[in-house]
A = this chain, B = another copy of it.
Amino acid sequence: MNDRLLKACRLEETDKKPVWLMRQAGRYLPEYRKLRRDRDLLSLCKDTEAAAELTALPVLKFGVDAAILFADIALPLEGLGVPFRMVDGEGPVVEKPVRDEWGVKNIREFDSSRVNYVYETIRLARSILNDRVPIIGFAGGPFTIACYIVGDVGSRDFPLARSLIHMKPRLWRELMEILTMAMAQYSKAQVEAGARVFQIFDSWAGSLSPLDYEESVLPYVKALVDEIRGRGVPVIYFTTCSAGMLELLRRTGANVIGIDWRVDIGRAWRSIGFDVGIQGNLDPAVLLGDRDSIVLRAGQIMEATRDRPGHIFNLGHGVLPETPPENVAALVEFVHGYEEDGVEH
Protein backbone atom coordinates (compact mmCIF):
# COMPACT_ATOMS: atom_id res chain seq x y z
CA MET A 1 0.00 0.00 0.00
CA ASN A 2 1.00 3.60 -0.70
CA ASP A 3 1.33 4.67 2.93
CA ARG A 4 2.38 8.30 2.45
CA LEU A 5 -0.80 9.60 4.04
CA LEU A 6 -0.54 7.30 7.06
CA LYS A 7 3.10 8.23 7.52
CA ALA A 8 2.36 11.95 7.33
CA CYS A 9 -0.34 11.51 9.99
CA ARG A 10 2.36 9.99 12.21
CA LEU A 11 4.81 12.80 11.31
CA GLU A 12 7.11 10.34 9.53
CA GLU A 13 9.20 11.13 6.45
CA THR A 14 7.79 10.16 3.03
CA ASP A 15 9.46 9.78 -0.37
CA LYS A 16 6.99 12.27 -1.87
CA LYS A 17 4.58 14.66 -0.21
CA PRO A 18 1.13 13.03 0.13
CA VAL A 19 -1.64 14.85 -1.74
CA TRP A 20 -5.39 14.40 -2.02
CA LEU A 21 -8.12 16.97 -2.60
CA MET A 22 -11.39 17.55 -0.79
CA ARG A 23 -14.24 16.87 -3.27
CA GLN A 24 -11.73 15.18 -5.57
CA ALA A 25 -14.59 13.02 -6.89
CA GLY A 26 -17.03 15.91 -7.33
CA ARG A 27 -19.03 17.71 -9.96
CA TYR A 28 -15.98 18.90 -11.95
CA LEU A 29 -15.46 15.35 -13.24
CA PRO A 30 -17.29 14.17 -16.37
CA GLU A 31 -17.37 10.68 -14.80
CA TYR A 32 -19.27 12.11 -11.83
CA ARG A 33 -21.79 13.87 -14.05
CA LYS A 34 -22.32 10.67 -16.01
CA LEU A 35 -22.92 8.55 -12.91
CA ARG A 36 -25.07 11.24 -11.31
CA ARG A 37 -27.34 11.53 -14.37
CA ASP A 38 -30.69 13.00 -13.36
CA ARG A 39 -30.58 11.57 -9.85
CA ASP A 40 -30.09 13.67 -6.75
CA LEU A 41 -26.89 13.36 -4.78
CA LEU A 42 -28.60 11.23 -2.14
CA SER A 43 -29.56 8.55 -4.68
CA LEU A 44 -26.03 8.53 -6.05
CA CYS A 45 -24.64 7.96 -2.53
CA LYS A 46 -27.03 5.03 -2.07
CA ASP A 47 -25.95 3.42 -5.34
CA THR A 48 -23.00 1.78 -3.61
CA GLU A 49 -21.35 0.55 -6.81
CA ALA A 50 -21.38 4.03 -8.33
CA ALA A 51 -20.28 5.60 -5.02
CA ALA A 52 -17.41 3.11 -4.70
CA GLU A 53 -16.36 3.77 -8.29
CA LEU A 54 -16.29 7.51 -7.57
CA THR A 55 -14.37 6.94 -4.34
CA ALA A 56 -11.66 5.10 -6.25
CA LEU A 57 -11.65 7.22 -9.41
CA PRO A 58 -9.27 10.09 -8.43
CA VAL A 59 -6.65 7.54 -7.36
CA LEU A 60 -6.78 5.80 -10.74
CA LYS A 61 -7.12 9.03 -12.72
CA PHE A 62 -4.74 11.42 -10.96
CA GLY A 63 -2.60 9.27 -8.69
CA VAL A 64 -3.62 10.99 -5.46
CA ASP A 65 -2.39 9.33 -2.28
CA ALA A 66 -5.78 8.66 -0.70
CA ALA A 67 -9.36 7.92 -1.62
CA ILE A 68 -12.03 9.64 0.42
CA LEU A 69 -15.37 7.93 0.89
CA PHE A 70 -17.88 9.32 -1.62
CA ALA A 71 -20.77 10.41 0.60
CA ASP A 72 -22.54 13.51 1.85
CA ILE A 73 -22.04 15.03 5.27
CA ALA A 74 -25.81 14.87 5.93
CA LEU A 75 -26.25 11.12 5.39
CA PRO A 76 -26.08 10.19 9.10
CA LEU A 77 -29.16 12.38 9.68
CA GLU A 78 -31.02 9.36 8.26
CA GLY A 79 -29.70 7.31 11.16
CA LEU A 80 -31.02 9.97 13.56
CA GLY A 81 -34.49 10.00 12.02
CA VAL A 82 -34.11 13.61 10.86
CA PRO A 83 -35.61 13.81 7.34
CA PHE A 84 -33.88 16.08 4.83
CA ARG A 85 -33.60 16.65 1.12
CA MET A 86 -30.67 17.76 -1.03
CA VAL A 87 -31.13 21.17 -2.64
CA ASP A 88 -28.69 21.94 -5.45
CA GLY A 89 -26.47 24.87 -4.56
CA GLU A 90 -27.68 24.91 -0.95
CA GLY A 91 -26.83 21.46 0.38
CA PRO A 92 -28.94 19.41 2.77
CA VAL A 93 -32.18 21.03 3.99
CA VAL A 94 -33.91 19.37 6.95
CA GLU A 95 -37.68 19.19 6.77
CA LYS A 96 -38.31 20.29 10.36
CA PRO A 97 -35.50 22.45 11.75
CA VAL A 98 -34.69 21.55 15.36
CA ARG A 99 -34.69 24.64 17.56
CA ASP A 100 -36.42 23.71 20.81
CA GLU A 101 -36.76 21.00 23.45
CA TRP A 102 -39.45 19.26 21.45
CA GLY A 103 -37.27 19.12 18.37
CA VAL A 104 -34.30 17.68 20.26
CA LYS A 105 -36.55 15.08 21.94
CA ASN A 106 -37.63 13.91 18.52
CA ILE A 107 -34.13 13.07 17.38
CA ARG A 108 -33.79 9.30 17.55
CA GLU A 109 -30.87 7.36 18.89
CA PHE A 110 -28.46 6.77 16.02
CA ASP A 111 -29.45 3.69 14.04
CA SER A 112 -26.27 2.83 12.21
CA SER A 113 -28.01 0.20 10.08
CA ARG A 114 -29.92 2.94 8.23
CA VAL A 115 -26.70 4.04 6.59
CA ASN A 116 -25.29 0.60 5.85
CA TYR A 117 -24.82 1.71 2.25
CA VAL A 118 -22.02 4.04 3.45
CA TYR A 119 -20.08 1.17 4.96
CA GLU A 120 -20.76 -0.98 1.90
CA THR A 121 -19.30 1.79 -0.29
CA ILE A 122 -16.08 1.68 1.72
CA ARG A 123 -15.86 -2.12 1.36
CA LEU A 124 -16.47 -1.97 -2.39
CA ALA A 125 -13.98 0.84 -2.90
CA ARG A 126 -11.34 -1.11 -1.00
CA SER A 127 -11.84 -4.03 -3.30
CA ILE A 128 -11.64 -1.83 -6.44
CA LEU A 129 -8.45 -0.22 -5.15
CA ASN A 130 -7.09 -3.48 -3.81
CA ASP A 131 -5.71 -1.50 -0.84
CA ARG A 132 -3.50 0.53 -3.16
CA VAL A 133 -4.04 3.67 -1.01
CA PRO A 134 -5.82 4.19 2.31
CA ILE A 135 -9.48 5.12 2.30
CA ILE A 136 -10.40 8.16 4.36
CA GLY A 137 -13.71 7.90 6.21
CA PHE A 138 -15.42 11.08 7.27
CA ALA A 139 -18.17 12.67 9.31
CA GLY A 140 -19.28 16.20 10.11
CA GLY A 141 -18.18 17.76 13.37
CA PRO A 142 -20.98 18.13 15.92
CA PHE A 143 -21.25 21.91 15.38
CA THR A 144 -21.37 21.58 11.62
CA ILE A 145 -24.04 18.86 11.76
CA ALA A 146 -25.96 21.12 14.17
CA CYS A 147 -25.88 23.94 11.58
CA TYR A 148 -27.84 21.66 9.24
CA ILE A 149 -30.17 20.36 11.95
CA VAL A 150 -31.22 23.85 13.14
CA GLY A 151 -31.88 24.85 9.52
CA ASP A 152 -29.04 27.33 9.04
CA VAL A 153 -29.07 26.66 5.34
CA GLY A 154 -28.25 29.34 2.78
CA SER A 155 -26.72 31.54 5.46
CA ARG A 156 -23.17 32.81 5.30
CA ASP A 157 -22.22 32.40 8.94
CA PHE A 158 -24.80 30.20 10.67
CA PRO A 159 -26.51 32.68 13.00
CA LEU A 160 -29.16 30.18 14.13
CA ALA A 161 -26.63 27.69 15.49
CA ARG A 162 -24.47 30.47 16.94
CA SER A 163 -27.36 32.12 18.74
CA LEU A 164 -28.82 28.84 20.05
CA ILE A 165 -25.67 28.55 22.18
CA HIS A 166 -26.67 31.77 23.94
CA MET A 167 -30.43 31.41 23.84
CA LYS A 168 -30.68 27.82 25.06
CA PRO A 169 -27.34 26.73 26.48
CA ARG A 170 -28.70 23.58 28.13
CA LEU A 171 -30.47 22.48 24.94
CA TRP A 172 -27.27 23.17 23.00
CA ARG A 173 -25.26 20.83 25.21
CA GLU A 174 -27.91 18.14 24.85
CA LEU A 175 -27.79 18.47 21.06
CA MET A 176 -23.99 18.35 21.04
CA GLU A 177 -24.03 15.18 23.15
CA ILE A 178 -26.49 13.45 20.85
CA LEU A 179 -24.53 14.40 17.73
CA THR A 180 -21.16 13.50 19.22
CA MET A 181 -22.40 10.05 20.18
CA ALA A 182 -23.93 9.55 16.74
CA MET A 183 -20.75 10.60 14.93
CA ALA A 184 -18.73 8.28 17.18
CA GLN A 185 -20.88 5.31 16.15
CA TYR A 186 -20.84 6.38 12.52
CA SER A 187 -17.04 6.63 12.49
CA LYS A 188 -16.69 3.31 14.30
CA ALA A 189 -18.67 1.51 11.60
CA GLN A 190 -16.63 3.20 8.86
CA VAL A 191 -13.42 2.08 10.50
CA GLU A 192 -14.76 -1.46 10.79
CA ALA A 193 -15.56 -1.33 7.06
CA GLY A 194 -11.96 -0.42 6.33
CA ALA A 195 -11.40 3.34 6.63
CA ARG A 196 -7.74 3.78 7.61
CA VAL A 197 -7.79 7.53 8.28
CA PHE A 198 -10.74 9.64 9.45
CA GLN A 199 -11.46 13.29 8.65
CA ILE A 200 -13.87 15.31 10.77
CA PHE A 201 -15.35 18.05 8.59
CA ASP A 202 -16.17 20.77 11.10
CA SER A 203 -16.33 23.12 8.14
CA TRP A 204 -18.50 25.76 9.83
CA ALA A 205 -16.94 25.78 13.31
CA GLY A 206 -14.91 28.84 12.30
CA SER A 207 -18.11 30.89 12.33
CA LEU A 208 -17.94 30.83 16.14
CA SER A 209 -16.05 33.23 18.38
CA PRO A 210 -12.99 31.55 19.92
CA LEU A 211 -14.65 31.69 23.36
CA ASP A 212 -17.89 30.07 22.18
CA TYR A 213 -15.93 27.42 20.31
CA GLU A 214 -13.80 26.68 23.34
CA GLU A 215 -16.70 26.44 25.79
CA SER A 216 -19.53 25.01 23.71
CA VAL A 217 -17.97 22.94 20.92
CA LEU A 218 -14.36 21.95 21.61
CA PRO A 219 -15.17 19.49 24.46
CA TYR A 220 -17.41 17.49 22.11
CA VAL A 221 -14.90 17.49 19.27
CA LYS A 222 -12.22 16.33 21.67
CA ALA A 223 -14.41 13.44 22.83
CA LEU A 224 -15.06 12.41 19.23
CA VAL A 225 -11.37 12.61 18.32
CA ASP A 226 -10.45 10.52 21.40
CA GLU A 227 -12.97 7.90 20.42
CA ILE A 228 -11.64 7.54 16.86
CA ARG A 229 -7.97 7.64 17.84
CA GLY A 230 -8.76 5.02 20.46
CA ARG A 231 -9.47 2.67 17.56
CA GLY A 232 -5.95 3.25 16.23
CA VAL A 233 -7.10 5.46 13.36
CA PRO A 234 -5.46 8.87 12.83
CA VAL A 235 -7.80 11.88 12.72
CA ILE A 236 -7.67 14.95 10.48
CA TYR A 237 -9.77 17.81 11.91
CA PHE A 238 -10.83 20.31 9.25
CA THR A 239 -12.35 23.79 9.67
CA THR A 240 -12.53 26.99 7.63
CA CYS A 241 -12.32 30.67 8.69
CA SER A 242 -10.50 29.59 11.83
CA ALA A 243 -7.24 31.57 11.67
CA GLY A 244 -8.25 33.27 14.94
CA MET A 245 -8.34 30.05 16.94
CA LEU A 246 -5.52 27.82 15.73
CA GLU A 247 -4.31 26.96 19.24
CA LEU A 248 -7.81 25.76 20.12
CA LEU A 249 -7.81 23.47 17.09
CA ARG A 250 -4.66 21.86 18.42
CA ARG A 251 -6.52 21.09 21.64
CA THR A 252 -8.94 18.82 19.76
CA GLY A 253 -6.17 16.22 19.97
CA ALA A 254 -6.35 15.46 16.24
CA ASN A 255 -3.25 14.07 14.53
CA VAL A 256 -3.56 16.57 11.70
CA ILE A 257 -5.24 19.99 11.53
CA GLY A 258 -6.78 20.87 8.16
CA ILE A 259 -6.90 24.60 7.42
CA ASP A 260 -8.42 26.73 4.68
CA TRP A 261 -6.55 29.16 2.38
CA ARG A 262 -7.25 32.24 4.52
CA VAL A 263 -4.00 31.91 6.45
CA ASP A 264 -0.35 31.38 5.53
CA ILE A 265 0.29 27.66 6.12
CA GLY A 266 3.79 28.19 7.52
CA ARG A 267 2.49 30.60 10.14
CA ALA A 268 -0.48 28.42 10.93
CA TRP A 269 1.71 25.37 11.48
CA ARG A 270 3.98 27.35 13.80
CA SER A 271 0.95 28.49 15.83
CA ILE A 272 -0.52 24.99 16.04
CA GLY A 273 2.82 23.35 16.79
CA PHE A 274 5.08 21.19 14.65
CA ASP A 275 4.32 18.12 16.78
CA VAL A 276 0.91 18.00 15.06
CA GLY A 277 0.44 17.45 11.33
CA ILE A 278 -1.10 20.04 9.00
CA GLN A 279 -3.22 19.70 5.88
CA GLY A 280 -3.92 22.28 3.20
CA ASN A 281 -4.19 24.87 1.92
CA LEU A 282 -4.33 25.95 -1.73
CA ASP A 283 -7.27 28.23 -2.57
CA PRO A 284 -9.53 26.06 -4.80
CA ALA A 285 -10.04 29.16 -6.97
CA VAL A 286 -6.39 28.93 -8.05
CA LEU A 287 -7.25 25.72 -9.93
CA LEU A 288 -9.34 27.85 -12.30
CA GLY A 289 -6.27 29.82 -13.34
CA ASP A 290 -3.46 28.84 -15.69
CA ARG A 291 -0.60 26.44 -14.97
CA ASP A 292 1.80 29.24 -13.97
CA SER A 293 -0.62 30.47 -11.37
CA ILE A 294 -1.09 26.95 -9.97
CA VAL A 295 2.65 26.26 -9.83
CA LEU A 296 3.31 29.62 -8.18
CA ARG A 297 0.76 29.24 -5.38
CA ALA A 298 1.31 25.50 -4.85
CA GLY A 299 5.05 26.13 -4.82
CA GLN A 300 4.67 28.68 -2.04
CA ILE A 301 2.91 26.05 0.07
CA MET A 302 5.59 23.46 -0.68
CA GLU A 303 8.27 25.98 0.28
CA ALA A 304 6.54 26.96 3.55
CA THR A 305 6.27 23.32 4.65
CA ARG A 306 9.47 21.82 3.28
CA ASP A 307 12.01 19.74 5.18
CA ARG A 308 9.48 18.86 7.83
CA PRO A 309 7.32 15.72 7.88
CA GLY A 310 3.61 15.90 8.66
CA HIS A 311 2.25 18.08 5.86
CA ILE A 312 -0.53 16.67 3.69
CA PHE A 313 -1.04 18.74 0.54
CA ASN A 314 -4.69 19.57 -0.08
CA LEU A 315 -6.88 22.48 -1.07
CA GLY A 316 -8.28 24.82 1.57
CA HIS A 317 -11.77 23.45 0.81
CA GLY A 318 -13.45 21.37 -1.90
CA VAL A 319 -12.62 21.38 -5.63
CA LEU A 320 -14.89 23.94 -7.35
CA PRO A 321 -17.33 22.51 -9.93
CA GLU A 322 -15.85 24.71 -12.69
CA THR A 323 -12.34 23.28 -12.25
CA PRO A 324 -10.74 21.80 -15.41
CA PRO A 325 -9.73 18.21 -14.53
CA GLU A 326 -6.37 18.70 -16.27
CA ASN A 327 -5.53 21.35 -13.68
CA VAL A 328 -6.06 18.81 -10.91
CA ALA A 329 -3.73 16.46 -12.79
CA ALA A 330 -1.14 19.25 -13.12
CA LEU A 331 -1.35 20.02 -9.40
CA VAL A 332 -0.87 16.41 -8.30
CA GLU A 333 2.02 16.03 -10.71
CA PHE A 334 3.62 19.21 -9.41
CA VAL A 335 3.34 18.17 -5.77
CA HIS A 336 4.71 14.69 -6.40
CA GLY A 337 7.49 16.06 -8.60
CA TYR A 338 8.57 18.77 -6.18
CA GLU A 339 10.18 16.65 -3.49
CA GLU A 340 12.11 14.50 -5.95
CA ASP A 341 14.57 17.15 -7.00
CA GLY A 342 13.78 19.79 -4.42
CA VAL A 343 13.14 22.58 -6.90
CA GLU A 344 10.08 23.95 -8.64
CA HIS A 345 9.78 22.93 -12.25
Closest Cβ neighbor of A91 among chain B residues: B156
**Nearest chain B CB to A319's CB is how many angstroms away?**
11
Docked CA distance A157–B261 (Å): 11
Q: What residues on B are CB-neighbors of A245 within 8 Å?
A: 243, 262-263
Check if A159 is an interface residue, CB within 8 A of chain B: yes
Segment of A15-23, A107-115, A187-195, A282-290 engaged in the interface with chain B: A282-290
Q: What residues on B are CB-neighbors of A261 within 8 Å?
A: 209
- Report A253-301 residues with CB < 8 Å from chain B CB: 261-264, 267-268, 283-286, 288-290, 293, 297, 300
Is the pair B209, A283 in contact by a Cβ cutoff of 8 Å? yes
Check if A211 is an interface residue, CB within 8 A of chain B: yes
Given A206-B262, A209-B262, A320-B159, verify A288-B166 contact (CB < 8 Å): yes
Check if A210 is an interface residue, CB within 8 A of chain B: yes
- Report A129-188 residues with CB < 8 Å from chain B CB: 154, 156-157, 159, 162-163, 165-167
Q: Pick from B165, B264, B285, B293: contact of A244, CB below 8 A.
A: B264
Closest Cβ neighbor of A158 among chain B residues: B285
Is the pair B285, A163 in contact by a Cβ cutoff of 8 Å? yes
Q: What residues on B are CB-neighbors of A268 within 8 Å?
A: 244
Q: What residues on B are CB-neighbors of A244 within 8 Å?
A: 243, 262-264, 267-268
Query: How many chain copies does the complex carry?
Result: 2
**Nearest chain B CB to A296's CB is how many angstroms away?**
9
Is the pair B89, A154 in contact by a Cβ cutoff of 8 Å? yes
Is the pair A166, B293 in contact by a Cβ cutoff of 8 Å? yes
Q: What residues on B are CB-neighbors of A300 within 8 Å?
A: 211
Is the pair B167, A211 in contact by a Cβ cutoff of 8 Å? no
Docked CA distance A241–B207 (Å): 8
Closest Cβ neighbor of A166 among chain B residues: B289
Check if A322 is an interface residue, CB within 8 A of chain B: yes
Docked CA distance A207–B261 (Å): 9
Check if A212 is an interface residue, CB within 8 A of chain B: yes
Docked CA distance A322–B165 (Å): 15
**What are the interface flags for A80-99 relative to B under an 8 Å C-beta threshold, 1 for contact and 0 otherwise?**
00000000010000000000
Q: Which 6 A-B pairs have the closest CB atoms?
A: A166-B289, A244-B263, A243-B244, A162-B285, A163-B285, A163-B288
Known: A211-B297, A244-B264, A244-B267. 18 other contacts (CB 8 A): A156-B156, A159-B320, A163-B320, A165-B289, A166-B289, A206-B241, A207-B262, A209-B297, A211-B264, A212-B283, A241-B262, A242-B243, A242-B262, A243-B244, A243-B262, A243-B263, A244-B262, A245-B263
A-B contact pairs, 8 of them (CB 8 A): A89-B154, A159-B284, A209-B297, A210-B263, A211-B264, A243-B243, A244-B263, A244-B268
